[in-house]
């Protein structure tokens, strides 16, 4: 049990730190208030978890602890759904309904499509 907790914790730490730097870097390069950094991290996280679960479907390629490290730990620490929801709330509260709708649609639709793409790549080419 301790090893499992450590795998999840180390994955979460790694994913969280990477999320912070990647999101911050992208947002600083953005030309407007739109939350590009969080959106990019969420989309990338969806793609990565699609790749990981695509690999898991291929059989016993990874130990259970590595699976937990990559999915629950790393992807859980890397993706930022609660931040996504808060930013949507702020956009709506500030009356930016078009940006709210655009941000939601791209993040949710794009995330789903990229997750499916990651899974498809592993199924077909992995």
- Flag whether the pTM goes above 0.85: no
Q: Tell me the pLDDT tens digit for each residue of 30-48.
A: 988 899 999 999 999 999 9
C-alpha 114/C-alpha 68 separation (Å) is 21
- Report the pLDDT value the prediction gives residue 126, as an integer from 0 to 100: 73
For residue 123, pLDDT over 80 is answered with yes
For residue 82, pLDDT over 90 is answered with no
Degrees, nearest 5: CA angle 70-53-41: 60
Domain ranges, ordered by start, for the chain = 2-125
Q: How far is CA 86 from the centre of its chain?
A: 16
Query: Per-residue confidence at 81, pLDDT binned at 50, 70, 90?
Result: confident
Contact 39, 108 (CB under 8 A): no
Mean pLDDT for all residues in the chain: 93
Q: What is the dihedral of CA 94, 95, 97, 103, to 10 degrees?
A: -10
Please give the full DSSP string across 81-113, using - where no structure is assigned: HHHHHHHHHHHHHTT-HHHHHHHHHHHHHHHHH
Of 45, 41, 39, 44, nearest to 20 (Cα)? 41
Identify which has the larger pLDDT, 44 or 60: 44
In this prediction, residues 81-93 reach a mean pLDDT of: 92
């Amino acid at each position: 049990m301790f090893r499992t907790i450590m795998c999840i914790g180390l994955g979460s730490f790694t994913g969280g730190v990477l999320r912070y730097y990647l999101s911050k870097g992208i947002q600083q390069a953005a030309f407007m208030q739109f939350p590009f950094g969080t959106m990019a991290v969420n989309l990338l996280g969806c793609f990565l978890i699609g790749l990981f679960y695509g690999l898991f479907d291929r059989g016993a390629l990874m130990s259970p602890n590595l699976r937990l490290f990559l999915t629950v730990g790393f992807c859980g620490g890397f993706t930022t759904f609660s931040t996504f929801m808060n930013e949507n709330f702020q956009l709506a509260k500030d009356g930016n309904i078009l940006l709210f709708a655009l941000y939601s649609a791209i993040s949710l639709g794009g995330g789903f499509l990229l997750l499916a793409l990651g899974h498809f790549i592993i199924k077909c080419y992995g």
